Structure 1
């Protein structure tokens, strides 16, 4: 069975040169097999306030919602993000994420008169779009880094590896005439 360490070591190819520094640090250490699995244990320090944690959780759920497969919440992506930022991020690496969450919260309170965590899914999507389009303070930087954290957390989780993708440690035999219409999921190994 593939573990988070192995998956994290392979995540570098997904984002290339634009990889968020804490993910790159953890992936580099994972490749050298010098670290425990990232998801083990609580974060060494609290990174988020309760409000920031609630907003981060809600936005993670909007990026990878539950569909016919579990979403970011079920894959414990918010816990992964806080653990990674607490234990693998330098204090300056956290600034854009924390500032982005605060900016989204402020915009939500101004536009919708409610916390971003309690906003409707459509309102949360609008807030994420504003960040993506850099229409809130440092929004584009926040969005890119936050998206990387969510995707990395999801696709290195057991749910992402085994339920979203199809895990085959050794794929079956080669069939050059296999009908594409019968391909179910992308394989991870």
Structure 2
């Protein structure tokens, strides 16, 4: 099974956790022309921003490492460049630039220079803005909302497709037995990855 097939399967397993637009892109990326790939280039700082955002979305806990340890910060730009059409890549990059500008406007410093509380506040505000934009269809905030939605979706997809997500964040059974769709979980028990 190749990487895209595996990611598509994870997207199906995650179901409605991932937005319809991301699921559609994953299914249609098999026919993405080569000239559509790598339409945008991400700087090292932008990759670090995506890494820090992913860690806020999927933080390290007592029971499992977070998105940073799973390599999600490298996964997001790779997926955007390899699977998203040029127009969506440019829209994502524009939203990322708007996000960087918002950090400067709100806090007077780069997102990477913010403390964890400020970073978390920015992501909460971004999430609420994306929800409001979906309802209002405000074109002024469309790109930054799109950027947040794709970042969130790819964080979840990358994390739960990673070895850490499959084996440490979820219960992993390397040799599954029979299928049982109604297995009772004990309080605090992890859900099954396979």
Q: Which TM-score applies when normalising by structure 2? A: 0.73
| 1:112 corresponds to 2:114 | no
Q: Which runs of 4+ in 1 moved over 4 A?
A: 43-46, 171-174, 176-179
Higher helix share: 2
Aligned residues: 171
1:147 partnered with 2:152: yes
Corresponding residue for 2:46? 52
Q: Deviations over 1:25-72 (max 9, x none)?
A: 35xx5xxxxxxxxxxxxx967631233222212111111111121111
Which residue is 2:12 aligned to?
12
| Cα distance in 2 for residues equivalent to 1:17 and 1:46 | 22
Match of 2:73 among 74, 78, 81: 78
- 1:91-127 deviation digits (Å, cap 9, x = unpaired): 1121332122211111111121211122111111111
2 CA distance for matches of 1:10 and 1:17?
Answer: 13
> Aligned to 1:126, which of 116, 121, 136?
121
Match status 1:180 vs 2:186: yes
Separation in 2, partners of 1:187, 1:115: 39
Structure 2: gaps spanning 5 or more residues: 31-36, 131-139
Deviation at 1:86, TM superposition (A): 1.6
Query: What is the rounded CA distance, in whole Å, between the counterparts of 1:99 and 1:141 in structure 2?
Result: 10
**2:141 maps to which of 115, 137, 142:** 137
Instruction: Assess if the C-alpha contact under 8 Å between 2:159 and 2:165 holds in 1.
Output: yes
2:94 to 88, 93, 99: 99
Once the two structures are TM-superposed, the CA of residue 164 in structure 1 deviates from its matched residue by 0.3
- Tell me which moved more, 121-130 or 150-159: 121-130
What secondary structure is seen at the aligned counterpart in 2 of 1:180?
A: coil
Runs of 5+ unmatched residues, structure 1 = 30-42
Residue 27 of structure 2 corresponds to residue 24 of structure 1: yes
* Structural RMSD (CA): 3.1
